[in-house]
Amino acid sequence: MKAILRRGRVTPPATEAKAKAEARSVAAEPRTRFSGIMRAIRGAYRQVIGIPDYERYAEHMALHHPGAPLLSRRAFFAQAIDRKYGRGKQRCC
């Protein structure tokens, strides 16, 4: 088995796969950070304009109500629409 020279260091063959995986994770870090930032911006935008956020609901339920059943995405949005525009809700106009 040959040792591999990488970045001025000799890497034994057994750790070659580990070194490749580490290099991929370092390369993916900016994408992960960017996607996290975009997810936060999307969530803030949805809060401002009043669109319910299913991911935030799922995180809240898992954290604060672990035994309670989780609504499906479809049921969650149906409930949100009914809550916002449902019958019996008093409106100013």
Specify the pTM.
0.50
Structure confidence by residue, pLDDT tens digits, 2-30: 555 555 565 555 566 666 666 666 556 77
Assess contact for 13 and 4: CB atoms under 8 A. Answer: yes
- Within the chain, strands assigned E span 4-6, 9-11
Structure confidence by residue, pLDDT tens digits, 59-79: 899 999 999 999 999 999 898
Distance CA 75, CA 42 (A): 21
Average of pLDDT values for 38-46? 85
In the chain, domain spans? 1-51, 52-88
Provide φ and ψ at 8, rounded to 5°: 80, 0
